[in-house]
Chains A and B, each alone.
Chain A
Amino acid sequence: MTTMATAASRSTVVPWRIVIIVALPVLTLVVIAAILAGEAIGVHPWASPPPATVSEAAAIGAAYQAIALIRQGQDPSAAGQLPPGVIDRNGYNLTPIDAAIVGRRLEMIALLRAHGAQTTHPGRSVCLAHASGLPEAVPLLVDSAASGADAIVDRAQSVAEALQRCDSRK
């Protein structure tokens, strides 16, 4: 009887441990496989869509995607749409260099310049650099310190405020 009770307790105790050990890793593997399989057929609910414009790529610091879009024919100087959620809750229409400034992607500015991007309104761009708290970007935007001196402004509280202050510099 003792042997049977022991055997019964063994059979009731052990399966729970197997379930704990097996279930979670197998479930994780199934989830991963499902995500990969979904991607293979074009379904990826947890992935954000790739940037559609050079400006959007510049704002998020996706350097290779910015270059790829330029290679596909997008103008590196032309203003592009930044959908809501990229910088903040608002959407914006900015040139790639300005998008890099408001996105605080200093390294993107030099990269864009190397791939042919121009500052269409240098004064505005310098103003945005100061308003966004990125004064170290100014030397990348203008040829001399003097040409950017009159665009110095205080740091803005938000991107919208920075743009509002600097739009008059166009």
Chain B
Amino acid sequence: MARVWTPRTLPNAAIVVAALVVFAFLIRGQGRTEVNGGLGREGPAYVAMVVDHDVAKGGATTRQVPAFPLFALAPYLVTHDVRQSFALLNLAALALLVLAACVILDTARASAATKSVAAFAMVVQAMPSAMTAFDPIQPDLFGVALLTAALAGCEVGARARIRGVPLGVLHLVAALASPLGIVAPLYGLVRSWRLHERGVWTLGIFVPAVLAWFRISLWARGIPGLIELVTPSHMRSDLALWGDPAFVVFALYALATALGGLTLLLWLRPRAMIDAIGERPELLVLIAFAGPAVVTSGTEFPRALALFIPFWLFGLGAWSSRERAIGWSLVIAAAVTVMTQRPGTTIDGTRYFVDWFPFVVHSGRAGFEYPELRAEWTPRFVGLAAAAASLLILTRVTMLTALLEKTSQRARSWAGAISATAARISERARARTAPATSGPLKHEIPLDAPSPRWTAAAYVTAVAMGTTIAVCLLGIPIQLSDSFANLLGVMHVSLSDLIASQLQGSPYFRPLLTSSIKVVYTLADGHLYGTFRGLHAIEVIVLLVMVVRVLRVSTVADASVVPLGLAVVLSMHTFAGTIREAFPINAYFTILLCGIGMVLVSQARYRLVNDIAAIALLTFAALTAETGLLLWVIGLVGYLVGYRGISRSGVLALTATMALYFLIRFAVVGGGVPGLEERSAGFGFSVYDPADLIRQFGANPLPFYIYNLVCAVSTVLFGEPRGGLWLFTRGVVQGGLQPWQVVNVLACSATTILIARYVVRRFSYWKRCEFNDEDRIVLLFLAILPANAAFAAAYEKDVILSPAGVFFGLAAAVALRELIRNPIRDRWPVHAFTTALLAAIAVGWSIKLLGVHYSLRQTAVSVRNEWAYYDDWASQQPSELRASVDPALKQQLYDDAIERVPQPPVVSFRWADAFFDRTQ
């Protein structure tokens, strides 16, 4: 007795119903094609087939899928509305597709979560599902649904003994529903042959479908038409597009996201697809037919990829049966599906091409210009790369976890010597990641059990946080002030002349900053916004990943401080200047990357290349901006506190490099340092312009320099003053205190108290020169802070303190970690105070983290408005600069700001906006 009803039938039915509900919701308000009066490109032919009951109407393509209009006939006879008939048919096809997907995944015993995510992907994928709302009279969804159902039917038929006529009819209809419908019966034949089901009855199921396909194809195309499809000249013309790099890029994006995040998952774990083919070699039939069809589909490549849906589903089944922890992967895959398939967006004639056939627009085949194409697609590639990186880390870590568990299982099966070895190995690992075990920091609590999943979680958090900043950054065009002049300065000057011009003696000695701009400008090849902003966005993500690397996350205690630690790094007011501005490369950000890079080199195991890397980093950083000299402090102090990644000779070489820098800068080149006349500066409660500063301190600038030094240290520790101005104090004294000022001072001060607590607890060990890994990070911060402050002596600007701010964040993470591990001595008043302190820190930095994104959005508006007032800006510039303006460059950047770079929405939380620091 055939079992139709299985324990999975009800859940599958529920998934199908839910999918239809979601689909019906998503297509509300969906746009409709205007081609042929809303019928679409091939609509009139299919409509004629249905209304006139004549399948001979139309061309070769439409006649090869007679099942499509034939099945639309049934609802048409009831509704007498041809559009509604096709819409109902598409709905039925979607339900069949989702059901077939569930059946295929059931063969791999996939979880309900996997099936739900797959069903979700089926519903929201643009092609072929969502496109049926825009262009309902096209057979893509119908054909793919029947193909998938036919392949699923082979699986069910094999198990539930549903054979014979129903399966044969299903394959016959599938063969007549798609130009590649022959795949279905051939798949069935190969599968049956593999399973030794080689009787006449099997032939009787599948052969009629094969014959029907050939008959229909001959009738639709004729023999010359069929032969022409496979002639070399025809194929060569179809393959010509693959020589265009833009086509390849867009095609790879489409291939990676054909089924949203699920295909991305599979491409990152290709073993799953190989296993699927290994389990079912008949899938090669699908690949053999669909592969060439997709490759030769030309500009229809994104649409043709739908043919691979059954293959993705079998691959997903193989992936889910082998992967151990699939929860987070599925969550990220679902998010990527939404991100790439853009459900719910209204499709019109322009968006149809821009979002789904971008190469057609790029190559001018669409018949309209779309200058914003690159600006719109760059964030999508960045987002996809970030998602791929997250999934890659997650999948590799789970694989490593599985490997570790298998290894430990094998070890446990050997008694005595192997278990002792495993115990010794785990003890060494624990000692390497834990702080010093002497004194009050001894910890033997489960929080310190190392696991690769915590490392992965930390990196995923870093990538996620960096991506949100990157997305906001990409909404900011290249700014006018500083950037435009710098670009003009590098446009028509060779690299050697640029470097030579920096050796003329000036208050600023930054030959590699302008050189970097020149190099990136040259590589950009005219695509300035995408290249410079894209670089800036990537730098943010890289920096956060490097910060996580410095923290050496391996336990739950380590991982739990990463979100707040990174929030401190990103939300420090000293960091704001590194992301709000770019010239168009932000030199201060470059210094941050080099500085954290120097820490990583110091932390690593010693190799000669570390010394070379350290010298290279110091040289590059010092010649990019003056604060790059802090790398010498990092290298030296790192060695003194116990890092051995750089040797003693390496530290001496760093010192020699420093000395050489000073010699070249002040003796050979003859440069100076910025004086009082250079710019305005905050002093007390007011801003002093250069004339005021000279009048006040011209005779003796030392008090002013000391004032700036104190302000620099204070701004990092307490968030006050800001740029030398005591805004919070002024607000308390004179009134007008702003909520964001309270948040800023509260968050910084509470964090400083936490770090101070750590210092007090560890000071007795430091006196004995006993340093653990966490101590080293805090000591680096304590050394960097005054050294960095020295660079702000001439004028206090928050962004100059950005290196100290990043190390402040690292020290905060370390102090938090220590607090989690060691609550032993807390009596209830101390415990209450500590909890309140933690709450203040968490609330303060969370508000500031939101504020960073908010301020980036405000920056996007202000940069655009700056360009709008270009004429006013130009009138205030020196005549030499005005004379050097390149009209084409100016127009390009102006157009980017006014129209081309998409303006992100201006977000406002009304009264809550007052808590966000708009000055940062």
Residues of chain A whose beta carbon lies under 8 Å from any beta carbon of chain B: 6-7, 10-11, 13-14, 16-18, 20-29, 31-33, 35-37, 39-44, 46-48, 50, 61-68, 71, 107, 111, 114
Contacts and interface: CB of A to CB of B under 8 A. Distances in A.
A116 B335 CA distance: 47
Interface in B836-858: 838-839, 841-843, 845-846, 849-850, 853
A140 to B, nearest CB: 13
Interface string B860-872: 0100110111011
A117 B861 CA distance: 23
A23 B842 contact: yes
B647 interface: no
A163 B560 CA distance: 60
B823 A17 contact: yes
B471 A25 contact: no
Contact of A32 (B566, B841, B853): B853
Contacts of B471: 36
A71 B899 contact: yes
Interface stretch (B295-303, B421-429, B620-628, B903-911): B903-911
Given A14-B445, A25-B564, A29-B563, A40 B868 contact: no
B447 interface: yes
Interface in B334-393: 335, 338-339, 342-346
Given A10-B445, A64-B864, A17 B819 contact: yes
Contacts of A32: 468, 849-850, 853
Given A13-B831, A28-B850, A71-B899, A35 B907 contact: yes
Contacts of B631: none
Which A-B residue pairs are the 3 nearest by beta carbons? A47-B905, A63-B868, A25-B563
A61 B869 CA distance: 11
B561 interface: yes
A41 B345 contact: yes
B914 interface: no
A33 B344 CA distance: 18
A71 B898 contact: yes
Interface of B: 335, 338-339, 342-346, 445-447, 461, 464-465, 468, 471-472, 556-557, 560-561, 563-564, 566-567, 816, 819-820, 823-824, 826, 831, 834-835, 838-839, 841-843, 845-846, 849-850, 853, 861, 864-865, 867-869, 871-872, 897-899, 903-909
Given A32-B468, A46-B908, A6 B824 contact: yes
Contacts of B461: 26, 29
A83 B388 CA distance: 44
A18 B560 contact: yes
A28 B915 CA distance: 14
Contact of A114 (B835, B861, B871): B871
Contacts of B868: 63-64, 66-67, 111
A46 B910 CA distance: 9
Given A18-B560, A29-B849, A40 B342 contact: yes
Contacts of B346: 42
A17 B820 contact: yes
Find the residue from B446, B897, B906 having the highest chain A CB count within 10 A. Answer: B906
A61 B826 CA distance: 55
A40 to B, nearest CB: 6
Nearest to A114: B871
Contacts, number: 137
Nearest to B895: A71
A68 to B, nearest CB: 5
B443 to A, nearest CB: 9
Contacts of B871: 114
27 contacts: A17-B834, A17-B835, A18-B556, A18-B560, A20-B839, A21-B563, A21-B838, A21-B841, A23-B842, A25-B566, A28-B567, A29-B461, A29-B465, A37-B335, A37-B339, A39-B904, A42-B346, A43-B344, A46-B907, A46-B908, A64-B867, A64-B897, A66-B868, A67-B898, A71-B899, A111-B868, A114-B871
Contacts of A28: 567, 846, 849-850
Contacts of A23: 842
Find the residue from A21, A43, A63, A68 having the highest chain B CB count within 10 A. Answer: A21
Given A21-B842, A44-B905, A13 B567 contact: no
Contacts of A17: 819-820, 823, 834-835, 838
A48 B908 contact: yes
Find the residue from A7, A42, A67 having the highest chain B CB count within 10 A. Answer: A67
Contacts of A29: 461, 464-465, 468, 563, 849
Nearest to B910: A46
A22 B560 contact: yes
Nearest to A33: B468
A73 to B, nearest CB: 13
Contacts of B839: 20
B842 A41 contact: no
Contact of A25 (B842, B904, B909): B842
A108 B314 CA distance: 61
Contacts of A41: 338, 342-345
A31 B468 contact: no
A21 B823 contact: no
Nearest to A61: B865
Find the residue from A24, A63, A68, A114 having the highest chain B CB count within 10 A. Answer: A24
A14 B903 CA distance: 45
A97 B42 CA distance: 51
Contacts of A18: 556-557, 560, 820
A124 to B, nearest CB: 26
A25 B465 CA distance: 10
A63 B447 contact: no
B843 A24 contact: yes
A14 B339 contact: no
Find the residue from A18, A64, A71, A114 having the highest chain B CB count within 10 A. Answer: A64
A37 B862 CA distance: 23
A41 B563 CA distance: 26
B865 A24 contact: no
A21 B905 contact: no
Nearest to A23: B842
A21 B850 contact: no
Contacts of B816: 21
Given A29-B563, A64-B864, A64-B865, A24 B846 contact: yes
Contacts of A66: 868
A62 B841 CA distance: 36
Given A17-B823, A21-B838, A29-B464, A47 B850 contact: no
Contacts of B903: 50, 64-65
Find the residue from B343, B865, B871, B908 having the highest chain A CB count within 10 A. Answer: B865
A31 B339 contact: no
A7 B823 CA distance: 11
A64 B423 CA distance: 66
Contacts of B906: 47-48, 50
A47 B857 CA distance: 11
Given A13-B831, A17-B835, A25 B846 contact: yes
Contact of A46 (B446, B845, B846, B909): B909
B846 A47 contact: no
Contacts of A10: 445, 823-824
Find the residue from B445, B566, B868, B869 having the highest chain A CB count within 10 A. Answer: B868
Contact of A42 (B345, B867, B909): B345
Given A28-B567, A29-B464, A39 B843 contact: no
Nearest to B468: A32
A146 B886 CA distance: 41
Nearest to A36: B471
Contacts of A111: 868-869
Nearest to A7: B445
B567 A21 contact: no
B842 A24 contact: yes
Contacts of A11: 445-446
Given A32-B853, A48-B906, A22 B564 contact: yes
Contact of B908 (A16, A47, A65, A114): A47
